[in-house]
Amino acid sequence: MKNLLRLIFIALVLVLLNAPAVAQLSVAPPPKSVTISSGVMAGMLLEKTNPVYPPIAKAAHVSGTVVLQATITKAGMIENLHVISGPDLLQQAALEAVKDWRYRPYLLMGEPVEVQTTVNVIFTLGGSLPQSSPDAGSQEAAPPLAQTTAVPPPPMPAPDGPSLAATMQFIQDKLQERGRLNFAVYTHDNADGKDYIDQYSSEASNIVADPAACSINYHRNVKKNGAVFADDNVSFSFRDVQDLAVMPEEQEFKRAYAADGHPTWEPRVDPPLFLVVARRAANQANGFFFPSEELANRLAKAMLHAVELCGGGSKDPF
């Protein structure tokens, strides 16, 4: 009997000694730092400084994308900013602008955490598009937080630049080559932790770029989870375009979520897509997205040239 009691006592002591270890294993602390895509963090941008296009780079006709690596602190400040890639003449301008950006703190398990991310600063000869979406023909798109470049009053085209006919043909060809895109949007609600998945397919067809009218005409067909989301004919003129922007598609979804009353929703698009948006008056816009950032930038450059040739662009000098 004494031996049995002794065994029971020893067993109770072992259970009590191991109980704290079991409790510690059941509640894992949140990580000190997480890696988040540039598209998601672009939607969390609160304050930004637009980069200044270096005169020497503009004179040398240097354009391109500067990719920066950054740490965003729990308070949303930029730290450890450095260049990953990009034209040498544009790197310092990108660093000077982005170092002062501020973000909304990223929450994980309800607590702010440090974020590792990249920032793409896109420079074109028509301006600069700091980086970080509905598809072709989206008719309403409020200006995003970061990806905006104003088109200046149209200058006289360069004598050796592409003609309007050649520019419009290039735009038409690239839009036709894009074909139908299939992609998924994964959405996480930071407020309640829920996740949502939507499947999209999108196509712009019957595309006609008319140099005489400076217009783009096409039919858009968008499906969401197999149901028709948009199916209509769309037309707009480059004479009415006031500015152009290139951005990750996540940013437009983030803007749309906030406008619908869901500011805590964080989207991720798979595969990644890049949106080219041509904004007109009264918050009217047309968007075209591509799986290649390089192609999106080429189309934006061609559209900017078409705006200049057609006499569009912002007429407000300030």
Question: Tell me, what's the pLDDT at 196?
Answer: 87
Question: Phi, psi (5° rounding) for residue 227?
Answer: -100, 150
Please list, in sequence order, all residues whose beta carbon lies within 8 angstroms of the beta carbon of residue 111, skipping any fewer than 6 positions away: 30
- Sheet with 181-189, strands from edge to edge, namely 227-237, 215-224, 195-210, 181-189, 265-270
What domains does the chain contain, in order, with CATH numbers? 30-130 (3.30.2420.10), 133-318 (no CATH)
Question: Tell me, what's the pLDDT at 170?
Answer: 92
As a whole number of angstroms, the distance between CA 167 and CA 22 comes to: 68
Question: Tell me, what's the pLDDT at 168?
Answer: 92
As a whole number of angstroms, the distance between CA 92 and CA 66 comes to: 10
Q: Are 155 and 125 in contact (CB under 8 A)?
A: no
Going 126 to 128 to 134 to 140, the CA torsion angle's sign is negative
- DSSP assignments along 150-175, one per residue: EPPSPPPPPTTSPPHHHHHHHHHHHH
pLDDT tens string 215-246: 999 999 999 998 988 889 999 999 888 888 88
Averaged pLDDT in 10-residue chunks for the chain of 318 residues? 55 50 45 72 80 82 86 90 88 90 78 85 60 33 35 43 87 90 91 89 91 91 90 90 86 87 90 88 82 87 87 60
Q: Which of 247, 241, 313, 310 lies closest to 282, judged by CA? A: 241
As a whole number of angstroms, the distance between CA 211 and CA 80 comes to: 48
| Other beta carbons less than 10 A from residue 210's beta carbon | 13
As a whole number of angstroms, the distance between CA 16 and CA 13 comes to: 5
Question: Tell me, what's the pLDDT at 160?
Answer: 54
pLDDT tens string 98-143: 998 988 888 766 678 888 888 888 887 654 343 333 333 333 333 3
**Token duo for residue 164:** 């309007």
Question: Tell me, what's the pLDDT at 292?
Answer: 86
pTM of the model: 0.51
Measured in whole angstroms, the distance separating CA 158 from the mean position of its chain's CA atoms is 31
